[in-house]
Amino acid sequence: MTGKNFNRSFIRAALAAVLALAAIPAFADPATTAGMGADSADAPSDSRAALPESMSLSDRALMLASDINRLIVPGSRPANATATPVTGRAQSVLARAFALLGTPYRWGGTSTEGFDCSGLVGYVFRNALGVELPRVAREQAQTGMQVERSQLTAGDLVFFSTHSSGVDHVGIYIGDGKFLHAPRTGRDVTVSQLDSGYWNGKFVQARRVAGI
């Protein structure tokens, strides 16, 4: 695939995913998922949306930062919970993360050509906040302060174990019981449910990076 064609496909996929997130109350995980790997996940199918090819990654991030709270749609929040607007550094993290929706998964990937789970998290925090995180998920799970699942806020890191060997997957909590992550080979950066479905049972812990 040429650079021009890749750019067009990437932009269309990213904004299609953003529009889907804004319009749908919650992404549903399949009841069962077979063959889940270290960076595995369900992912909603994406439709294609026409967008100016000249829109850069930075432009998308700025656009999303100006209206990030519109993208976190109520749907799975408990009835007695109160929505908290995303502001400041957490807003910067989410804006950068949302701008990467639709980027393909690539094992060992750390750039917009493709990410694995920890590569995506590292890229977002480096470019949004100038924070350098460890390269792999199990080491990122030692970063910052551990937080209770009930106290999660946007920008926190959520960690999972898909095998018996400990932490092997990471994503960024976006609020409303959802997190953004790079799933596995054949999938794109997407949003999944944390409070139900496959990932609910694989959750291990959450960490808050200093400054969020």
Any idea which residues carry the catalytic annotation? 117, 169, 181
What contacts 24+ positions apart, CB below 8 Å, involve 4-12?
4/53, 6/113, 7/53, 8/53, 10/102, 10/103, 10/112, 11/51, 11/53, 11/55, 11/60, 12/48, 12/49, 12/50, 12/51, 12/102
Query: b/e string for 189-201 if b means 16 or more Cβ within 10 A?
Result: bbbbbbbebbbee
